[in-house]
Structure 1
Amino acid sequence: MATTEGALVSSATRGSLAVTMAGGVSTCAVAQSMTRAPVFAFSRMPAARLFALTISQYLNDLRTVVRQVSKHAELVSIEPAVLGRTVHLKFTYTTGDAAGQNMTTACTWHACQWILEQEHLVDSQELESFIIEGNTSGDKKASFQSMTEGRGIRVTADCVLPEGIVKRVLNTTPDELTMGYHHIASGAVHGGVLGSTANAANIVAAIFTATGQDIACVHESSVGQFILERTSDGGVYASMTLPGLALGTVGGGTHLPAQRELLEMMGCTGKGSAVRLAEVIAGFALALDLSTVSAAVSGHFVSAHERLGRNRPGAVPCA
């Protein structure tokens, strides 16, 4: 983790210890996609509607164009949305082990150039303008779309903590832990928060920075859903879902020496490694939220930051 947050590493370590002692975390990456959403502006709505109704017929032609641009990107779908006299086209791709932001931008640009050349598809007298991104893809922004559909890798992690481990490692009780969770979950709803997590953004930012990811994507990638439930035997069930981790293990800053070394250390290189990295992040985000909520309900949250905060004289260093 690359971080200046004093208590982060210690808290994540405590949560990870509790999860490990309980038998470990289960993780599953269920989907991967990257989107780009250009916008076409027409003179009037009828022309926009006709374009939106017609464009899906050319999906295979556009897939051919995409293959000529990239051997890694696969065009999955095109979804038009008519807003007045404009059409926003959401191009959805799979991108393998790359985050694929630049890759899909290039693919979408060339696909749109092909569209603009088709006189039977786009009437030059009706089309007024074209922009490569109309701001509906959710790029580097938290949105309801980020929560429900994701943009990147959708991953879930879960674990079951026995009562004894909750008491011994997290210094609280299952009742206090779940009570605190319900309070912060209802508070998130009242505050209009997208999703409900205690601290997932800290893990996403720290690991993104350390492994050469696009730091701006922390905004959309840290949207998530943390869930706590009591189990029938007196323990706690916990899960963390991060629906849109926009990350990769090739491209971007992942080739830099220090970042590459850390990816190799975690076994996150080679085919399928982006999924593994997403699962690692989800597991640690789950561990951190468990520790953070435990610290809050047990009354240790402030004292931990006072003891570990880096701005304090004699603070314990974290790396």
Structure 2
Amino acid sequence: MAGALGGFNAHASNIVSAVFLATGQDPAQNIESSNCITMMEAVNGGQDLHVSVTMPSIEVGTVGGGTQLASQSACLNLLGVKGANKERAGSNARQLAKVVAAAVLAGELSLMSAIAAGQLVKSHMKYNRSNKDVSGKS
């Protein structure tokens, strides 16, 4: 397992990509930023489930680059992290990294719930385009 990459989460990179595009991050940084270990542990005698994600290398910024684009800048403003924090250097980027991790946690929980309930395959079969003729031939 030493040096292993990936395989410890359901789909962190999908969520990271979405948040990155929405907030003007460099999408090429998805590779490092998607390092994620999702843990699920039964607690309180099996009555509750503790779910966590560990993401040690999220690379984000709130100044410059794509953060200056209108839609991405508006998204950062909505999150309250646009630009540099004058009182605490780097705190806006740290907060944005927390937003990324929280979104990944929500996505992981949602996907794993769908898998556990047997809904993922059912929904894919219902809405899957492969059962429709998309060849254009009639």
Which interval holds the TM-score relative to the shorter structure? 0.7 to 0.9
Partner of 1:227: 39
Partner of 1:241: 54
Query: Aligned equivalents of 1:238 and 1:280: distance in 2?
Result: 16
Query: Aligned equivalents of 1:206 and 1:300: distance in 2?
Result: 23
Percent identity, aligned pairs only, is 38
How many residue pairs were aligned? 123
Partner of 1:262: 75
Find out whether 1:250 has 2:73 as its counterpart: no
CA contact (8 A) 2:81 2:95 kept: yes
Partner of 1:278: 97
Matches within 5 A, 1:131-170: 144=3
Query: Structure 2 regions of 5+ residues with no counterpart?
Result: 86-90, 133-138
Alpha-carbon offset, residue 308 of structure 1:
5.9
CA RMSD of aligned residues (A): 2.2
Choose the corresponding residue for 2:111, options 286, 292, 299: 292
- Whose strand proportion is higher, 1 or 2? 1
Partner of 1:215: 27
Query: Aligned equivalents of 1:309 and 1:277: distance in 2?
Result: 34
- Whose helix proportion is higher, 1 or 2? 2
Matches within 5 A, 1:91-106: none
The one-character-per-residue Cα deviations of 1:126-168 (angstroms, maximum 9, x if unpaired) are xxxxxxxxxxxxxxxxxx4xxxxxxxxxxxxxxxxxxxxxxxx
State the TM-score, normalized to the length of structure 1.
0.36
State the TM-score, normalized to the length of structure 2.
0.79
CA contact (8 A) 1:217 1:246 kept: yes
Alpha-carbon offset, residue 312 of structure 1:
9.1
CA contact (8 A) 2:5 2:35 kept: no
Partner of 1:139: none
Query: Structure 1 regions of 5+ residues with no counterpart?
Result: 1-143, 145-191, 314-319
Alpha-carbon offset, residue 307 of structure 1:
5.1
From the CA coordinates, give the structure whose radius of gyration is larger: 1
Higher RCO, 1 or 2 (CA under 8 Å, sep at least 6)?
A: 1
Matches within 5 A, 1:67-146: 144=3
Distance 1:310 1:287, change over 3 A: farther
The one-character-per-residue Cα deviations of 1:108-135 (angstroms, maximum 9, x if unpaired) are xxxxxxxxxxxxxxxxxxxxxxxxxxxx
Distance 1:214 1:231, change over 3 A: same
Alpha-carbon offset, residue 311 of structure 1:
8.8
